[in-house]
Amino acid sequence: MTNNDIIRRLRYAFDYTNSQMAKVIGHVDSKIVTANVRSWINLPDDEFHQPLSDTDLCKFLDGLIIEKRGARPGAAIPKPLQTLSSNEILKKLRIALELREEGMMEVFKNAGFVVTKAELGSFFRKEGQRNYAECPEQVLRKFLHGLGKTEG
């Protein structure tokens, strides 16, 4: 699953327009405009399609946190990550939507996917920690699918 697929699925899940997507990213990068979003949302066979970098996806996710929860008083705008793992994407979505373990499990349930509490917890551990596990692409895909059924 590419970053373009992820942002397309998030756009669907939150029922955002391209301009709303640009507004969300605008919380952390005012240079991103609706035309940028349109080029990321377009399918790969479209002549105006542009690949979405990890940095720009991170900007969207950080902007989503600000959009949903508000900016932290006195806190600087977070620096976007250069590389983004499925674990980081899941973590940022959990923060933005203020989901606890039960809420995450409900989203997976909406997708018809079973994930154990221990497995879910392992995705949010610090890399290198004994119980850390990389989040498989399928798990992220199912979460985004369940989110579309929850939010939409």
Buried b (16+ CB within 10 A) or exposed e, 24-43: bbbbbbeebeeebbbbbbee
Q: Which residue has the higher pLDDT, 90 or 70?
A: 90
What average pLDDT does range 77-104 have in this prediction?
Answer: 94
The end-to-end CA distance of the chain, in Å, is: 21
Give the model's pLDDT for residue 72: 81
What average pLDDT does range 4-25 have in this prediction?
Answer: 95
- Checking if the pLDDT of 151 tops 70, the result is no
User: pTM for the whole thing?
Assistant: 0.91
* Closest listed residue to residue 34, CA positions, set 46, 53, 16: 16
Average pLDDT, the chain: 92
Contact 10, 60 (CB under 8 A): yes
Contact 144, 110 (CB under 8 A): no
Give the model's pLDDT for residue 94: 97
User: What whole-number distance in Å separates Cα of residue 93 and Cα of residue 17?
Assistant: 19
Give the model's pLDDT for residue 76: 81
Q: Hey, where are the domains in the chain?
A: 3-69, 86-151
Q: What is the length of the chain? A: 152
Handedness of CA 111, 112, 115, 116 (dihedral sign): positive
pLDDT tens, position by position, 61-81: 999 999 999 888 877 888 888
- Checking if the pLDDT of 144 tops 50, the result is yes
Query: For 144, left (φ over 0), alpha (ψ -120 to 50), or beta?
Result: alpha
Give the model's pLDDT for residue 95: 95
3-state SS string for 50-104: CCCCHHHHHHHHHHHHHHHHCCCCCCCCCCCCCCCCHHHHHHHHHHHCCCCHHHH
The model's confidence at residue 21, banded by pLDDT at 50, 70 and 90, is: very high
Residue 55 Cα to chain centre, angstroms: 12
Give the model's pLDDT for residue 152: 46
What average pLDDT does range 82-100 have in this prediction?
Answer: 96
Give the model's pLDDT for residue 83: 94
Give the model's pLDDT for residue 18: 93
